[in-house]
Structure 1
Amino acid sequence: MTLRLGDTAPNFEQQSSEGKIHFYDYLGDSWGVLFSHPADFTPVCTTELGLTAKLKDEFAKRNVKVLALSVDDVDSHERWIEDINETQGTSVNFPILADSDRKVSDLYGMIHPNANDTLTVRSVFVIDPAKKVRL
């Protein structure tokens, strides 16, 4: 599925590091940033999620909720969060979706057709309070 600016962001339910996420309920009337990373425990992804956690106050000032995603499972995410917190001097304060069934990845086109089909490519979606894709 190809999402374009102005399209309605697909709703979903998926397990995460913080339990089951009902996407629209999670966002409520907030803006949302949904982003994917290729795999847990990779150096670049670790610093990206660490920096995102450090920006919590900036996101909160702008009424933005963050949600990360990879095809790794919840157990991997939970171990990785401990690693991020320790190595990045922060506390991951947003859920990481466990998309091992690729349900959300497929909805949002996060698996590149010419790349490894078991990893999500780096993707970012900015979603407004009306659930429209803005970036």
Structure 2
Amino acid sequence: MALRLGDTAPNFSAESTKGTINFHDWIGDSWVFFFSHPADFTPVCTTEMGRTAQLAEQFAERNVKPLGLSTDTAEEHLKWIEDVDDTQSCSLDFPILADADCSIAQLYDMIHPGESETAAVRSVFIIDPNKKIRLTMTYPMTVGRNFDEILRAIDALQTSDAKSCALPADWRKGDECIIPPSITDEQAKEMFPEGWRELRPYLRMTKV
């Protein structure tokens, strides 16, 4: 069964480069950037792992834990991390799950036969502290992820949750937000005391 937005992220226990992880226990009260890659010691994956490590402080500022996965073993991951650190000038410290039997990849629908029967595609799951899946992205094996968009999407989700607002196209932190149509003007006066710009009755823009 396909996983959908709002579903509880399935729990699992698995070996990783940081020991055995029970997913729900490991999440704790954090957000999670859970992402798969096709294979260790491959070029695109090496750059993605390096970029995730380089952005460690930015993920931490957002209370986000990165968690990688591929269908390789923990021993292979540990050897590969040395290459990642060396070639990408980083220090990779987040866990990478070992999924040699593809059980987690199958659970999260990361195996797409049109790409590979055994290797995971580049899946992204943004999961909130309530263990709910809030956003998914899927990239093919030949295309690396856009980490600016991943951070932007996390900012948007967290802002929407905190301020009960919606976010327009290309929104970035500090830009105007949208007051959802489900919020009446009377409610909006209390929730957004600085006021708003009304472009249409259904399109009210405000700073939060």
* Range class of TM-score, shorter chain: over 0.9
- 2:32 is matched with 32
- 1:113 is matched with 113
Deviation of 1:128 after TM superposition, in Å, equals 0.5
- For 2:15 and 2:115, the matched residues in 1 are separated by 25
Deviation of 1:102 after TM superposition, in Å, equals 1.1
- 1:125 is matched with 125
TM-score, with length taken from structure 1: 0.97
Residue 101 of structure 2 corresponds to residue 101 of structure 1: yes
How many residue pairs align between the two structures?
135
- For 1:117 and 1:41, the matched residues in 2 are separated by 19
Q: Secondary structure at the match of 1:65?
A: strand
- 1:20 is matched with 20
Deviation of 1:114 after TM superposition, in Å, equals 2.7
- For 1:115 and 1:89, the matched residues in 2 are separated by 30
- Per-residue CA distance 1:43-88 (angstroms, 9 max, x = gap): 1100110010010000000000010000001111001001101111
Runs of 4 or more above 6 Å deviation: none
The one-letter amino acid of 1:4's match is R
Structure 1 residues without counterparts, runs of 5 or longer: none
Deviation of 1:130 after TM superposition, in Å, equals 0.4
TM-score, with length taken from structure 2: 0.64
Structure 2 residues without counterparts, runs of 5 or longer: 136-208
- For 1:134 and 1:54, the matched residues in 2 are separated by 24
